[in-house]
Amino acid sequence: MPEPLALKDQTSEAQIYIDRVSFCFGLLVLGALLLVGRMFYLQIVEHDRYSTLADENRIQVQSIAPVRGLIYDRNGVLIADNVPSKFLTLTTELTRDVTGTLDALRDVIGLNDAEIEAFAKRRARKRRPYDPVPVRYHLSEEEIARIEVNRYRLPGVRVDAQLVRHYPERGLLAHAVGSVRRINEDDLKRIDQVAYSGTDHIGKTGIERFYEPLLLGRVGYRRIETNALGRVMNVLDETKPVPGRNLTLQIDAGLQQAASDALGDRRGVVVAIEPATGGILAMVSKPSYDPNLFVTGIDHETYGALRDSIDVPLFNRVLQGQYEPGSTLKPFLGLIGLAEGTVTEETIVEDPGWFRLRGNQRLYRDWNWTKDGRGGHGDAVNLDRALYRSCNVYFYSLAVKMGIGTIHENLALFGFGRNLSLDLPEGRSGLLLSPDWKRTVRGEQWYPGDTVNIGIGQGDMLVTPLQLASAVTVIANRGRFIPPRLLLEGADVPEAREQVDNVTSISREHWDAVILGMENVIHRGNMGFGENGTAWAYIGQDIPYRMAGKSGTAQVVGIKQGEEYDEELLDDRQRKHAWFVAFAPVEAPTIALAVLVENGGGGSSVASPVARTVLDHYLLDDTPGIVGR
């Protein structure tokens, strides 16, 4: 007999269904409560925090580089400019793979290892988030096109425009104006990184370095709103940068060009100063270099060629070259001798062609001495003749009579032995000799022969061309010392680092006597053999103004006792350096200068024509600006 069918328990099934629905509803309610609670926590309790984080993702602060101040010469010629340049940047926060992006740039524009290394150094610099880091400067139109075509492969990469420093005159004013260069690791240790957050460059040499705080300006900032791709959607607010201050220098670019042309391809220096102000009118150091090469980074090969060149074009001979002054020191010694009463204008010295200390067999020769015993200037050499004929024997005798103590003390009054320029701190101090120096440095006593040598500016005494030109302005000013400087307008004149008083111990008559001897160096001519001024034959025969000057030679290699100096037997770089110093017009000097031609030989024959050309341009050519432009 079949079993009866079991009937469904509808009540039980309904309860199970209700329990399941209730459980699910409870879960939904709990989830909703959790979401509401979390929303309350985020929107109310943590509102300020997450609002700030959201803004940081959406709103960025960008630095705005100030425009660097311009530099002009005294006639308004622009000598340091800013020009627009397209450059490539990478914002590292906008790319997940910086290395991969750089590798892609290798393919697109040929990015090299040196550029990647430089990028890494700039990236390591402390900076604001989302600040773009330069990768390459001076992009070509073709490179820009390649970047745009491959934009999808280059997240965070952008082509920007920026003003970069440019020197229109290239090497002509490199050693005077200096240059800006990229900030390196050493710079980062000393600069205010906030002040430099908008730029990768800093003044490294010359005026660009000394007046860097004024030329730099003040960085600005911009708050921008970006989308998820990093593109700028809106500028929220902006603090404009303050441009750097424009400066005007004492430099006359036209005179600088004339001086450079006068030197030609020879190594040497021309430095010219306005006696009334101490303003440096020309400051030529040759050979020179193009400072534009350094602005955005010079390649290793080019820099190596400049650094290792035998002619050292990076070396500023005006400020850092130290040379024996030679016979250009004689006017200063003559002034000291007159002021001290050691000699008078009428004091006579016999010059047989040589000088000998009492009890000593060594002969100190005159410049015109020959091995067969000829030379000298006879038995009637006074101060005037000693100057215009550059008689060594007279000044050997004078130096010994005065003594090194008197010489050292008085030469210091003309600025020797110190860098007294106001805005050229990299200038060297030269070497003003004294017994204390020799004892300390050489461990030797001072000998009478040392004093004899200093009588003609030889031995260990050293001067820089700027020092010598500045000392000549003291003669032109008849005792008034004005420190040399490059700045004309645009900033306060820097204070002197050392106090130097005017030379008041020398009377007007003594100044006039020495200046007359210097005039005769150029203007005394047609007086018979041997009686003309040493420079008359080279520059004095048709000169339309009165010039006072003095030639000199600085010995590079020693000549043995009894041997005659013969340049033909020497290598070019062993020949004497040629000096010439001058100022004009004598009655009211407006320019003083020092010319040095390295290994040029005779000062009068080689250096004086350079000086004459420069003075002619300044005094006779009334056309300002760059010569030939």
Does some domain include residue 379?
yes
pLDDT at residue 3 greater than cutoff 80: no
- Name the active-site residue from 260, 285, 327, 551: 327
CA distance 24 to 260: 96
**pLDDT given at position 12:** 77
Cis peptide before 609 (omega within 30 of 0): no
CA distance 580 to 286: 16
pLDDT at residue 624 greater than cutoff 80: no
CA distance 619 to 287: 26
Measuring CA to CA, how many Å separate 222 from each of 129, 156, 234, 624?
13, 19, 11, 43
Enclosing domain of residue 487: 253-620
Do 287 and 195 fall within a single domain?
Answer: no
pLDDT at residue 1 greater than cutoff 70: no
Does some domain include residue 5?
no
Do 293 and 232 fall within a single domain?
Answer: no
**Helix/strand/coil for 136:** strand
pLDDT at residue 332 greater than cutoff 50: yes
Nearest CA to 576 among 555, 595, 558? 555
pLDDT digits (tens, 9 = 90+) for 267-323: 999 999 999 999 999 999 999 999 999 997 788 889 999 999 999 999 999 999 999
Do 277 and 164 fall within a single domain?
Answer: no
**pLDDT given at position 629:** 40
pLDDT at residue 70 greater than cutoff 90: yes
CA distance 69 to 80: 9
| Average pLDDT value over all residues in the chain | 87
**pLDDT given at position 341:** 96
- Tokens for 280? 């440096």
Report phi then psi at 234, rounded to 5.
Answer: -165, 145
pLDDT digits (tens, 9 = 90+) for 595-616: 999 998 876 789 999 999 999 9
Does some domain include residue 1?
no
**pLDDT given at position 53:** 47
Q: Which of 191, 223, 249 is the last residue of a domain?
A: 249
Mean pLDDT lowest for which of 331-335, 497-501, 585-589?
497-501
Q: 3-state DSSP helix/strand/coil percent for the chain, to nearest 5? A: 40, 20, 40
**Helix/strand/coil for 341:** coil
pLDDT digits (tens, 9 = 90+) for 216-233: 999 888 787 766 555 566
| Residue 91 pLDDT grade (very low, low, confident, very high; cuts 50, 70, 90) | confident
Q: Are 282 and 270 in contact (CB under 8 A)?
A: yes
Report phi then psi at 127, rounded to 5.
Answer: -150, 170
Do 84 and 160 fall within a single domain?
Answer: yes
How many other C-beta atoms lie within 10 A of the C-beta of residue 96? Answer: 10
**pLDDT given at position 58:** 63
- Tokens for 211? 């007046």
Split into its structural domains, the chain has a count of 2
Does some domain include residue 592?
yes
CA distance 60 to 91: 12
**pLDDT given at position 312:** 94
Does some domain include residue 28?
no
Give the distance between the most distant pair of CA atoms in the chain.
171
Q: How far is Cα of residue 35 from the mean position of the Cα atoms in its chain?
A: 68
Do 239 and 266 fall within a single domain?
Answer: no
- Tokens for 372? 């067969």
**pLDDT given at position 57:** 54
Q: Are 137 and 87 in contact (CB under 8 A)?
A: yes
**pLDDT given at position 314:** 95
Measuring CA to CA, how many Å separate 176 from each of 362, 449, 551?
45, 39, 25
| Average pLDDT score over residue span 377-400 | 93
**pLDDT given at position 347:** 95
Q: Assess whether 397 carries a catalytic annotation.
A: no
Query: For the packed helices 465-476 and 330-340, what is the interaxial angle rounded to 10 degrees?
Result: 50
Is the overall model pTM greater than 0.85, yes or no? no
**pLDDT given at position 24:** 85
**Helix/strand/coil for 6:** coil
**Helix/strand/coil for 125:** coil
If one compares 226 and 402, the residue with the highest pLDDT of the two is: 402
Query: For the packed helices 508-523 and 330-340, what is the interaxial angle rounded to 10 degrees?
Result: 150
Please name every residue paired with 354 in a beta bridge, in sequence order, or none if there are none: 365
Q: Which of 198, 227, 249 is the last residue of a domain?
A: 249
CA distance 532 to 540: 10
Do 295 and 367 fall within a single domain?
Answer: yes
Which residue matches tokens 């409560």? 33
Sheet arrangement for strand 59-64: 59-64, 220-226, 232-239
Does some domain include residue 22?
no
Mean pLDDT lowest for which of 306-320, 332-346, 366-380?
366-380
Percent of the chain with pLDDT over 70: 89
Q: Tell me the three-class secondary structure of 517-563, residue by residue.
A: HHHHHHHCCCCCCCCCCCCHHHHHCCCCCCCEEEEEEECCCCCCCCC
Do 341 and 457 fall within a single domain?
Answer: yes
Do 90 and 151 fall within a single domain?
Answer: yes
* Position 247, amino acid: L
pLDDT digits (tens, 9 = 90+) for 423-440: 999 999 999 999 999 999
- Cα 455–460–466 angle (5° rounding)? 85
Do 292 and 161 fall within a single domain?
Answer: no
Please name every residue paired with 282 in a beta bridge, in sequence order, or none if there are none: 272
Q: Tell me the three-class secondary structure of 413-474, residue by residue.
A: HHCCCCCCCCCCCCCCCCECCCHHHHHHHHCCCCCHHHHHHHCCCCCCCEECHHHHHHHHHH
Do 365 and 473 fall within a single domain?
Answer: yes
Q: Are 208 and 179 in contact (CB under 8 A)?
A: yes
pLDDT at residue 29 greater than cutoff 90: no
Does some domain include residue 40?
no
| Average pLDDT score over residue span 253-264 | 97
The domain that contains 163 carries what CATH number?
3.90.1310.10
CA distance 266 to 599: 9
Q: Are 88 and 150 in contact (CB under 8 A)?
A: no
Q: Which of 190, 225, 249 is the last residue of a domain?
A: 249
Q: How far is Cα of residue 576 from the mean position of the Cα atoms in its chain?
A: 27
Nearest CA to 89 among 63, 70, 66? 63
Read off the DSSP letter of residue 485: B
CA distance 607 to 553: 10
The domain that contains 287 carries what CATH number?
3.40.710.10
Nearest CA to 591 among 618, 570, 571? 618
Cis peptide before 287 (omega within 30 of 0): yes
Start-to-end CA span in the chain (Å): 132
Do 235 and 260 fall within a single domain?
Answer: no
Measuring CA to CA, how many Å separate 451 from each of 93, 330, 390, 412, 443?
70, 13, 18, 16, 17
Nearest CA to 466 among 422, 505, 498? 422
